[in-house]
Structure 1
């Protein structure tokens, strides 16, 4: 009898072990396999407005009502006014210089080990005492000396996490200037408060405490413009910029006042204020009240997209588990396209939708989409429609 009970329990425990292993394997598959993860994320929600449809009250808004730019003179005037918000003067830029950073760092060593990188060097921009923003110059093994890309990462990570995107650009021969948000990577997180009502012990967070600083937007924009200056000094004639997540907001703002940025890409990180909800809520640069009061984000998109040879693309992950998901980009795409075209000064704009995964990142399809755009491709498209078109061909 004892042997029979022992055998019975062995069978029960063995069956339970097999069941747990199967469940574990399923969980791992859902987490690491894009197709399985997408199905899980898509169908675990009972709210169709998360991924499938834009809320009717948002879709009913007319994007054109948030656009004030209608002529080349408007572009020039608004660019000057946005510059005045950034630099808190009459609009004149307070230019900063990128200095070579002697020594080594963990981030620099990681970048040196990227595929297709011949050499990586570190520079820094010091706009105020103790406030440092680092630039990492990645030289390709087979360079295209006329083309460079500035890559700006977002929150909760570093540009080294975007290795596939950066390696694709370096492989194409682009000189890449990579940078992180303040508070991430090796950048500064805080600065001494400057507004008089704060005491000498006050420290302002460079993302969330900008109201405690003078010209705080310049701290974010100037590293990008210093990178443009650096690249021009090296004889680079074509300079593009790619921003990921919160880095998209910085790239959109920089491109709006810096015409030398030719093509700009905002990946999973910007939406007009009227379309934001939940985790799309503006933070950092996008939440700076004086900027919000002066220009809509739609106006900034137009400033960044207009001009001879210029264009801007917004790339969204439709099933993004973080934020900036769904098809909201399609709500304003046509209005911005029409506004840019009506100016008659060149430029282009479009929205691309990635439906291949459910992560907050740049997928393989997204990398290919960005590279196509930087190489002169159209700024609009989607993973589904592109696949259908390819099959038809």
Structure 2
């Protein structure tokens, strides 16, 4: 259809819609606004850009289905893997300061923290405070088991919630004899601070949630460091004080993104379990409402695509990543889109000595780290051998 003809048709469509609305107003009166909104919504849903979206989101988006993920993953051999990892590290912490080798600013041993009291096999709880630029502080908790095995599981909660939402998961980790490092995202969780800052370029900013961090993400300063620094610094501390044969990390939702990034950049994380946390760029293009700013930064994903990040989380040394999704997730990352890229990631990971898999569960219409998903993650973590032992406290 020629543009001029198409434009005239759109104008006539709007005229007809306006006439219909006028008729409905006359027929229904001013007391039926919901009928008007329903009519307008039906019109909007019929527009081509929306009509192309799949009728059911329990499948694979058309754009994802036809993407050649084998071709797009350009990671080469070990030298290229190391080079890409360094490029991402430089991008994530530009102007921020590298966290590798850094220890927490404050360590409190054997603290009384009522929300964690009563967990079976729990010997003690430590509190770590990590101070970052702009006065932002992150508080992490270490749960020490009474009958300890040589294993550590990091847990990173997602947006809006506290890691205390996963008290049951932490209890399972501790009951299994593993130390747990629990974190909420910066500015969230009811424990992390929410400072008001006087930015030299923007003025007074109230940092009330993680979305506000995008305002600090500039050409010379990366706000992504706020997400990843607490994990790395907490791990630095624990590996300096203890020896673990097995180190894993689980993250839910936004914490799943942190898990993908942390595993890609810190080779000490041997097992990573992102739950409902990331998707590939074609999925984000098809679902503009999924994810937040860190998951859509084109400058980062031009350095490494998501599928390349997944591979980085499995290699040097040989490591493993198991992704978990809910088929009918009410929030995001639902469907079977992972089935489109998982074979390409698994092939590349295997070629470089790693292991990758994605599991799509059907846990109902919820956005949650469900009991079934928790059981699957812990079965893999407790039951599988991990290549390499005693990770070094230093990253390099």
TM over 0.5: yes
Alignment partner, residue 299 of structure 2: 290
Which consecutive unaligned segments of at least 5 residues does structure 1 have? 1-45, 380-393
Instruction: Give the counterpart of 2:330 among 312, 317, 321.
Output: 321
Counterpart in the other structure of 1:110: 115
Partner of 1:332: 341
Aligned in 2, Cα 1:240/1:100: closer, same or farther, shift over 3 Å? same
Distance 1:221 1:291 in 2: 14
Matches within 5 A, 1:50-65: 50-51=57-58, 53-65=59-71
Kept in 2: contact 1:83–1:93 (CA 8 A): no
In structure 2, which of residues 200, 205, 210 is the aligned counterpart of residue 202 of structure 1? 205
Report the counterpart of residue 218 of structure 1 in structure 2: 225
User: How far apart, CA to CA, are the structure 2 residues paired with 1:295 and 1:302?
Assistant: 10
Between the aligned partners of 1:113 and 1:326, the Cα distance in structure 2 is 38
How many Å apart are 1:126 and its aligned residue?
0.6
The aligned residue for residue 159 of structure 1 is 163
Match of 1:256 among 264, 273, 298: 264
Indicate conservation of the 8 Å contact 1:306/1:347, yes or no: yes
1:242 corresponds in structure 2 to: 250
Partner in structure 1 of residue 236 of structure 2: 229
User: Is residue 153–residue 243 contact of structure 1 (8 Å, CA) maintained in 2?
Assistant: yes
What is the CA–CA distance in structure 1 between the aligned matches of 2:250 and 2:238, rounded to whole Å? 15
- 1:167: how far off? 1.5
Instruction: Tell me how far apart the structure 2 counterparts of residues 190 and 332 of structure 1 sit (CA, whole Å).
Output: 40
Question: What corresponds to 2:74 in structure 1?
Answer: 68
Among 291, 301, 310, the alignment partner of 1:301 is 310
Deviation at 1:173, TM superposition (A): 0.6
What is the RMSD computed on CA atoms of the aligned residues?
2.7
Measure, in 2, the Cα distance between the counterparts of 1:305 and 1:219.
23
User: What CA distance in whole angstroms lies between the structure 2 residues aligned with 1:246 and 1:142?
Assistant: 32
**Alpha-carbon distance in 1 for matches of 2:119, 2:196:** 32
Alignment of 1:372-387 (within 5 A): 372-377=379-384
Quote the offset at 1:147 in angstroms: 0.6
Tell me the matched-pair count: 326
Give, in whole Å, the separation in 1 of the partners of 2:101 and 2:214.
20
Change (3 A) 1:161 1:271: same
Task: Identify the match of residue 125 of structure 2 among 110, 120, 132.
Answer: 120
TM-score by length of 2: 0.75
Q: In 1, distance between residues paired with 2:158 and 2:170?
A: 14
Deviation at 1:160, TM superposition (A): 1.1
SS at 2:56 equivalent: helix
Matches within 5 A, 1:9-24: none
Distance 1:356 1:100 in 2: 39
Which stretch of structure 1 is more off in the superposition, 309-318 or 117-126?
Answer: 117-126
Question: Aligned ranges for residues 339-378 of structure 1 at < 5 Å?
Answer: 339-343=348-352, 346-377=353-384
Structure 2 CA distance for aligned equivalents of residues 92 and 73 of structure 1: 21
Unaligned runs of 5+ in 2: 1-52, 387-396
* Contact 1:333–1:351, Cα closer than 8 Å, also in 2: yes
Provide the residue aligned with 1:8 in structure 2: none
Distance 1:339 1:187, change over 3 A: same
